[in-house]
Structure 1
Amino acid sequence: MVQVAAALLFALAAGLGITVILVMLKSNETAILSALLGEGAFADDGAPQPGPATTIKLRPSPPRRHIARAIVARAQRSQPQLSRAA
């Protein structure tokens, strides 16, 4: 009984997988077929063209000033690790 249920579940999963593949083929048919034929997924006109991209000149930021900050050591009074009540 368990084996029959497992076989039915496997058949359902396989059918769902095939359905997903067929839907993908239907929606992206031209891109998939042209890629399989070696033409690439993009048409010649719509393909990205190689070459330098347009650059945007940014405004230079002001130079950074190095500020030396003095580290002030606080005088700490030594406290016992345990309280006197312990």
Structure 2
Amino acid sequence: MGWFSGVVVYLLIWWVALFAVLPIGTQPNPEGDEQTGWRGVPQRPQLLRKVVITTLVSAILWLAVFALIESDWISFRSGWWAMPDK
């Protein structure tokens, strides 16, 4: 995997992990907005903490994906999934 492909894969993993981590630990505002009654905004979103958790989880997942791609365990060049010869 080249450096550009590695960065793209990391960013894709990071965004998916971010959307998985965002709802963890959020509590809706019990009173809600006085005018509309909408309670959708969390009281303490803790975004910095969630970004750090997302970065750590993404790094671990990226290392696993990198190891899988660089190994010969799954290969499209040889083995069962190989492209047929012309």
| TM-score (normalizing by structure 2) | 0.30
| TM-score (normalizing by structure 1) | 0.30
> Which structure's residues are more often helix, by fraction?
2
The structure whose Rg is larger is: 1
